[in-house]
Amino acid sequence: MAKIKPFKAVRPTRDKVALVSSKSYETYPESELNAKLAFNPFTFLHVVNPGYKYHIQDVTGEKRFKLVHNRYLEFKEANVFTQDKTPSLYVYQKISSGKSFSGIIAATSTEDYHNNVIKIHERTLRKRELLFENYLKNTGFNAEPVLLTYPDNDQVETIIKKYQKERAEYEFTTSDKDLHLLWLIDTPSDIESLTEAFQNIETLYIADGHHRTTSSCILAKNLANENPNHTGEEDYNFFMSYLLPESQLSIYEFNRFIKDLNGLTPDEFLIELDTYFRIEKRGQELYKPKEKHHFSMYLKGDFYALYLRKSAYEFTDDLSKLDAEILFQTVLKPILGIEDIRNDSKIIYSQDKSDSLELKTKVDNGQFVVSFGMMPTSIQEIKTIVDKGLVMPPKTTYIEPKLRSALTIYEIL
């Protein structure tokens, strides 16, 4: 039931791919970004930071998007990018910190999104949807795939492994020690086999890229209304995705950091918490939850273990069983007065992947008053919530792999 389509990717030439491809623009610290722009003329960051060429810092909106389009055309004119002559699917493998991810890059259908074949697990912001839609309309391309996941499928896996036995079109290692490999699938029989395999998959789940998906769908609808000869097969009716089996996803939790106790003293705050939790003081012993409905907390120089009192909290649906939702309903909203967890400046989120002491250090240095940690959400929890039409709180999951920009580019217009 899921529709995928091969496309003619615009790609860096083999000799320049390691120099061209980049992480997402927003992930670079300013110093690293400036260094890459200054010393690497081939980085895709020149395309998405088009004002650098003229030392212009404040160009925004449509003017910036049109400059992005111009820098993109310059990369094509200089043969940094070339376009495949045959519509293809692409096997992409990333190996990071000993973890291997192997999936398919393809064009996926905006209609599938509207028909709930492609399902979301978090809400998007209308302002960002419209911003990205305007970006796509003015630049005409999509350089970073949406991460979609699907139940493991033997037919898809067999074809992926078949191509991984051959020499890769791309094979390079980046400065963060990640290995990247890409293979082209342009054999009609293999494309047909993969297309059929996904037609038998009932649901695709968005793991990362909700705003990019929604903005692509808004653009498709607008362009369809403007096109009297619309057929549904135009390029704008699809968006580029990386389809990865769910067993290969890595899911991490986000920590919560709070700037004040809503007028309470630490002792008063602990008394309020006692309504919903059995509390154990762990002192300087780092505590990380090992079970659902258990939470770690760092307050005034000490770690605490919080165990939910199930007699004090009612599970009404699958969303109410989610640890991020429990923390919101028992602590953030009623005690700390945080009603809008998406926009309230009192709460900050940080993914818990490598720095186990982050809960402590950000409180000890005075940035925050209290911090909370929890167990990662499982893929089954995500699917259950999504399938029942529920939406998780923001920053519930940090999902890998994170994908690079400009390995393959999908031209929408």
**Dist CA 224 CA 205 (whole Å):** 25
Residue 55 has pLDDT above 90, yes or no: no
Contact 94, 250 (CB under 8 A): no
How much is the pTM? 0.93
The backbone torsions φ and ψ at residue 240, rounded to the nearest 5 degrees and listed phi first, read -80, 135
- The secondary structure of 38-78 as a DSSP string is HH-TT-THHHHSGGGGGT-----HHHHHHHHHHHHHHHHHT
Q: Are 171 and 84 in contact (CB under 8 A)?
A: no
For each of the domains in the chain, give its residue range(s) and CATH number, in order of start.
4-248+401-411 (no CATH), 251-376 (3.30.1760)
Tokens matching residue 152: 């493991």
CA-based torsion, 381, 387, 390, 395: positive or negative? positive
pLDDT tier for residue 9 given thresholds of 50, 70 and 90 = very high
SS3 370: strand
Give me the numbers of helices (H) and strands (E) for the chain, helices first please.
Answer: 13, 20
Give Cα separations from 274 to 266, 268, 269, 279, 330 (angstroms).
Answer: 12, 10, 9, 7, 11
* Residue pLDDT, tens place only, 351-391: 877 666 899 999 999 999 999 999 999 999 999 999 999 98
| pLDDT of the residue at 126 | 86
What mean pLDDT is predicted for residues 219-245? Answer: 97
- The model's pLDDT over 109-127, given as tens digits with 9 standing for 90+, comes to 999 999 999 999 987 878 8
| HEC sequence for 10-30 | EEECCCCHHHHCECCHHHCCH
* DSSP-derived 3-state class of residue 169: coil
Q: Decide if 2 contacts 194 (C-beta within 8 A).
A: no
What is the spatial distance between Cα 99 and Cα 353, in angstroms, rounded to a whole number? Answer: 14
